[in-house]
Amino acid sequence: MRKNNTILDLTPFLDVILVILFLVLVQSEVRVDVIYAEAREEYTARQEAFAEEVDALRQTAADFDVLRLGLEEEPNVIAISLLPNAEDRGIRSILVEATAQVIQIELCWDGVIRDNAAMALNIALSEGVQNADSPVTFVVFKFDSTNIFAADHRLISIAIHNLKLNHPHIFSAELNLR
């Protein structure tokens, strides 16, 4: 019997396999870099959102502390009422009751009188907050929804809103006496 002495040279085949393996590793590295960059961006975004949430919670806690301290003392309460005139429905009065003062502001449909009433209401509310000994002020707007005009409600609501913009520790409520 004769032996076959054929030698197979597998070097080129091994070279092709190594080149393919190298290309797979390079592609894997690119994919890992992309995934790492995406993960880093998501981590940064979540970290920023967490920081914003923590800041909001700290502000809420500070507001709560101020409210708690204000309630431990005698809180400042400003009551606003809209009083209709029994004889003439076109004439009304805004009554502002603060700790040390009671102010009555005449109101009607005349544009100049309405503007003066809005200005007087803003001044009365600001003075009511500034003259208070308490850091917290509660503004209560009392009205009867069957006897109030939408324009009058809006005038008083805007005055309360403006007051809250200038003073951070103002809390307001509307009380419908209907």
| Span 64-101, pLDDT tens digits | 776 666 555 667 888 888 888 778 777 888 889 887 78
Listed in sequence order, the residues at least 6 apart from 105 whose beta carbon sits closer than 8 Å to its beta carbon are 93, 94, 95, 96, 117, 120, 121, 124
| Span 9-34, pLDDT tens digits | 777 888 888 888 888 888 888 888 88
Residue 46 has pLDDT above 80, yes or no: yes
pTM, full prediction: 0.56
pLDDT at site 2: 62
Residue 1 has pLDDT above 60, yes or no: no
Residue 40, φ and ψ in degrees, nearest 5: -65, -40
Residue of 26, 131, 16 whose CA lies nearest to 76:
131
